[in-house]
């Protein structure tokens, strides 16, 4: 069978919700792939004034993507920087924390419970007796105590996942991204990328890969991975002389922020199964057209999938798993620059803060 099915699986897992600030719809579809490796998270009320949405596109298995969907938003909340209002720093630390948490006996156990072949290890899991070891992380009691067991020296998963996360707090949008999932915002119908696809051929990415001892062959890191940033992929993060941010592949996210204004209509988070088939502007145009006749946002996501779905597996594009979250701003934002007064034509003119991005 290979990596593709004989016919696509088009049943969808969908969800819709809203609060007083926004409404959202999300959907995911396996498509032609033999397994579903995407995951997602949607918490419109992460706290009293904050919403959280994330798309995670796994590779080599589903475990890391599901791990991120389960734990990344929790780690954002646990950071001291979050409590002090520094959302960007809390996002960065939460991304890097995922790799730390997936190591050792407990990391192995959690990944095994989330993976594709749990039946192969469930007997071992049931038979183990764990002895938690609590320690200190950044001066605080560790919220993820280590455990003794046969996998205590586990360095992390060989599989991995992208992560593209959007946090909306009051009138600010924060986007953290590692990999080639993407966040796009529509401002008066104009698409603006709130993330950069991390590919090995980007100058800064190539420099980091080479400096860490890696190489690029046919657009793939060390001849295997067509991404330059991801959570997981532990075998590409083993240079003991370098910090996590400078490894061959890093989970360190780019972080962009923007002050929302009245002209911001909606944002989209989606995996590369969508972006392989549609440009950011094409997707914004299509969503705006669908909003004229369809009020259920998850249904619009499903229509996007079928627009992208390939008729066969000969071309490659349109054959991937597809996941999309559509977030529509429910009412005008009262602060921020008006796009009527300052029509944006680039990220800089849109006043996107990229100060947290690696150069």
DSSP of 147-162, one letter per residue?
E-STTTT----S-EE-
Q: How many domains does the chain have?
A: 1
The answer to whether position 114 is within a domain reads: no
* Rg of the chain in Å (alpha carbons): 20
Query: What's the pLDDT score for residue 311?
Result: 96
**80 within a domain of the structure (yes/no):** yes
Closest-CA residue to 111 (of 75, 156, 142, 78):
156
Q: What is the CATH number of the domain that holds 223?
A: 3.60.40.10
Q: Is residue 111 part of a domain?
A: no
Q: Is 118 contained in some domain?
A: no
130 assigned to some structural domain: no
The answer to whether the Cα torsion of 64, 39, 224, 97 is positive or negative is negative
Q: What is the pLDDT of residue 191?
A: 98
Residue 108 counted as domain residue: no
> For position 220, what pLDDT does the model report?
97
Considering the domain boundaries, does residue 15 fall inside one?
Answer: yes
Range of the domain at 38: 4-103+155-329
Number of other residues whose CB lies within 10 A of the CB of residue 335? 11
Question: Residue 354 has what pLDDT?
Answer: 63
Q: What is the pTM of this model?
A: 0.89
DSSP type of residue 239:
-
Give the HSE-up count for residue 353: Cα atoms under 13 Å, Cβ half-sphere: 14
Q: Note whether residue 207 is domain-resident.
A: yes
Is residue 26 within 8 A of residue 15, CB to CB? The reply is: yes
Beta bridge partners of 51: 168
**pLDDT tens string for the chain (359 positions)?**
478 999 999 999 999 999 999 999 999 999 999 999 999 999 999 998 999 999 999 999 999 999 999 999 999 999 999 999 999 999 999 999 999 999 999 999 999 999 855 444 444 444 444 444 544 444 444 678 888 899 999 999 999 999 999 999 999 999 999 999 999 999 999 999 999 999 999 999 999 999 999 999 999 999 999 999 999 999 999 999 999 999 999 999 999 999 999 999 999 999 999 999 999 999 999 999 999 999 999 999 999 999 999 999 998 799 999 999 999 998 654 544 443 333 333 333 466 666 555 54
- 231 torsion bin: left (phi>0), alpha (psi -120 to 50), beta (else): beta
């Amino acid at each position: 069978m290979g990596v593709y099915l004989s016919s696509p699986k088009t049943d969808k897992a969908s969800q819709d919700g809203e609060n007083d600030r926004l409404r959202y719809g999300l959907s995911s579809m396996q498509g032609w792939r033999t397994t579903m490796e995407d995951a997602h998270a949607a918490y419109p009320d992460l706290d009293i004034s904050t919403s959280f949405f994330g798309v995670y596109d796994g590779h080599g298995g589903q475990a890391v993507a599901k791990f991120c969907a389960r734990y990344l938003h929790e780690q954002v909340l646990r950071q001291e920087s979050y409590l002090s209002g520094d959302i960007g720093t809390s996002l960065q630390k939460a991304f890097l924390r995922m790799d730390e948490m997936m190591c050792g006996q407990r990391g192995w156990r959690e990944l095994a419970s989330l993976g594709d072949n749990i039946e192969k290890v469930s007997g071992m899991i049931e038979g183990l007796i764990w002895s938690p070891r609590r320690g200190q992380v950044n001066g605080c009691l560790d919220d993820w105590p280590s455990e003794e067991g046969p996998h205590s020296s586990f360095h992390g998963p060989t599989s991995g996942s992208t992560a593209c996360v959007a946090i909306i707090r009051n009138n600010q949008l924060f986007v953290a991204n590692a990999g080639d999932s993407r966040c796009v915002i529509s401002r008066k119908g104009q698409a603006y990328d709130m993330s950069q696809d991390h590919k090995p051929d980007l100058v800064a990415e190539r420099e980091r890969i080479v400096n860490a001892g890696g190489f690029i062959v046919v657009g793939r890191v060390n001849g295997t991975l067509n991404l330059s940033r991801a959570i997981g992929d532990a075998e590409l993060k083993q240079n003991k002389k370098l910090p996590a941010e400078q490894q061959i592949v890093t989970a360190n996210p780019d972080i962009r922020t923007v002050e929302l204004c009245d002209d911001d209509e909606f944002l989209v988070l989606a995996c590369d199964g969508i972006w392989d088939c549609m440009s950011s502007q094409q997707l914004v145009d299509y969503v705006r057209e669908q909003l004229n006749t369809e009020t259920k946002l998850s249904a619009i996501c499903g229509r996007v999938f079928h627009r992208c779905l390939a008729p066969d597996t000969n071309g490659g594009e349109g054959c991937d798993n597809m996941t999309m979250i559509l977030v529509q701003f429910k009412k005008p934002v009262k602060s921020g620059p008006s796009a009527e007064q300052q029509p944006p034509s680039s990220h800089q003119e849109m006043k996107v803060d990229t100060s947290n991005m690696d150069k």
